[in-house]
Amino acid sequence: MRKRVMFLAGVLALALALPTFAQDAFVEVSSGSGDQEDVMFSRLCKIKEDGTLDWGNKVKIGKGKSHSVYLDGKIAVLVHRGAAKETEETLFYHVGTADLTTMAVNWGPAVQYGKGSQPSVSFKGTRLIEAHRSANNDRLWIMTGTIDVARHQISFGEAVKYDEAGRSPAISLGSGN
């Protein structure tokens, strides 16, 4: 009986430590309009049991274009290219933490991580994968990385070319099971 109680206590402790809303919430990122067409905004949204949506307020992130966002548990990652003429082929990321109390993602600063366009991101836990198109041609590149949530940083490995000709890559990281 004591072993069973210890096992159940361990299962409960693990359940409480895991993110609890990964399947019940999502983050949306969009650009503004008019004079804010290069400004990115995000919203956190809860999916209620009856299927209705409970939206948080719009939060301004910064300037950028061609963005891709992913949420796993409470961790959010946004990748995008720069908005200004001198940064339009520069890739940036933001690491954020979703907060269902305030209904917002607390985004870290924009961090430059490479050159290219049309970035796509996915991750599981803190293991990340990113794909993008070359800045100068249609070659496609892929990178893996590790997310440091506390520091709002990603440590990337080297970019590896995986296709000579392609556009608009979209990527998704699964469990492999």
Amino acid identity of 150? Answer: A
pLDDT (tens digit per residue) in 74-133 = 999 999 999 888 888 999 999 999 998 999 999 999 999 999 999 999 999 999 999 999
Residue 14 has pLDDT above 70, yes or no: no
| Residues 77 and 123: beta-carbon distance below 8 Å | yes
Q: How much is the pLDDT for 87?
A: 83
pTM here is: 0.84
The predicted model gives 154-165 an average pLDDT of 95
Q: What are phi and psi of 60, to 5 degrees?
A: -75, 130
Average pLDDT, the chain: 86
Amino acid identity of 174? Answer: G
- For the domain 18-163, what is the CATH superfamily, name and number? YVTN repeat-like/Quinoprotein amine dehydrogenase (2.130.10.10)
